[in-house]
Amino acid sequence: MNIDEEDLAAIRPALIHLIFEKKTVTLDSQDKRIVSEHPGWRWSRSTLWRALTSRLGFHFDRRHHGYYERLREDAENSRRRALYLQFMFKYQSEGRPLVYTDESWINRNCVPDKVWMDGCVDCEPPAPHSKGARWILIGAGSADGWIPTTFVMWKGNVQSEDYHSEMNSDVFRQWFTERLLPNVPPNACVVVDRAPYHTVLTPESKPAGAQWTRAHLAEWLVAHNAKDEEGDILTIDRLLDEPTLYAVEGAKQSWMDEANAICTCL
């Protein structure tokens, strides 16, 4: 069957719809999608294959991009990278020292997975690849080298498959406050990635919750020394007894909109 240009225009949108719906795209699923949207569709399976390969540039192959490759191209992550670079260029122009932190691990049997061999067993490494005791390491450095006292390495749990299970917020916070901060240069910028144990908030630093009651929200505002528009410190009595909403000094408008919506429902 000849490939009709009008029918050809229906293929790509149907294929994109299947991809956005996170469905496995095959010739059969593509054909069913087009038939459901175009009742007069009469292409054969082979004609559809020829159209995809010869006219639209698609090909059926192994997946070359995994989860992390796709995540790197996410629009929100791209925006964060651009924002990160803007801050880094700004700090560099100000002459601020840049300190980078990271964690990793190494196995006792860290041998190559591939080696040159002549077919003899003796040519292969006797130790299994990436097996045995695991050592976890953490450190911080700058253009001048390692920050003193920040490099730490300890033996991990052999039963754990992921070293992240042995790195938690308590371990990281202790290392950060006791080994890193006392030794960073003045006015330094410390670069930390977004590992879960890096972003754990303490009870004192947690923001107000959207589902909090009015009493809970009032206690949080008082604990953070919130002030009204005139600069007076808010008290529990004023927040609970008076129906007036106070614009908190330094609060973002979007946060106040959420507060107004919460208090209106109380």
Is 50 exceeded by the pLDDT of residue 98?
yes
Q: Range with the lowest mean pLDDT among 98-102, 113-117, 179-183, 214-218?
A: 113-117
Q: 235-252: per-residue pLDDT in tens? A: 888 888 866 555 555 544
More confident residue, 66 or 240: 240
pLDDT of residue 85: 93
pLDDT of residue 45: 73
pLDDT of residue 114: 67
| H helices present in the chain, as ranges | 5-8, 11-20, 27-37, 45-50, 67-72, 75-93, 169-175, 214-223, 236-241, 253-264
Question: Which residues 6+ apart lie within 8 Å of 223 measured at CB?
Answer: none
Is 60 exceeded by the pLDDT of residue 264?
no
What would you report as the CA-atom Rg of the chain, rounded to the nearest whole angstrom? 29
Q: At 193, list the tokens.
A: 């990635």
- Residue bearing tokens 């593509």: 30
Are residues 82 and 89 in contact, defined by beta-carbon separation less than 8 angstroms?
A: no
Are residues 142 and 99 in contact, defined by beta-carbon separation less than 8 angstroms?
A: yes
Q: Range with the lowest mean pLDDT among 130-134, 228-232, 234-238?
A: 130-134
Q: At 120, list the tokens.
A: 């003899």
- The rounded distance, in Å, linking the Cα atoms of 138 and 150 is 7
Is 50 exceeded by the pLDDT of residue 261?
no
- The rounded distance, in Å, linking the Cα atoms of 231 and 253 is 17
pLDDT of residue 212: 82
- Which residue in 187, 174, 175 sits closest to 101, CA to CA? 175
Helix (H, G, I), strand (E, B) or coil at 173: helix
Average pLDDT of the chain is: 75
Is 70 exceeded by the pLDDT of residue 110?
no
CA 104 to chain centroid, in Å, comes to 18
pLDDT of residue 136: 86
Mean pLDDT of the 217-238 span: 84
Q: 146-202: per-residue pLDDT in tens? A: 998 999 988 876 554 444 456 788 889 899 999 999 999 899 999 998 888 888 887
- Which residue in 194, 211, 223, 206 sits closest to 259, CA to CA? 211
pLDDT of residue 72: 78
Mean pLDDT of the 58-67 span: 67
Mean pLDDT of the 30-59 span: 73
Q: Provide the residue ranges of all domains of the chain, joining segments of one domain with +.
A: 5-55, 96-112+126-198, 214-264
Is 80 exceeded by the pLDDT of residue 117?
no
pLDDT of residue 194: 85
Termini Cα distance of the chain: 68
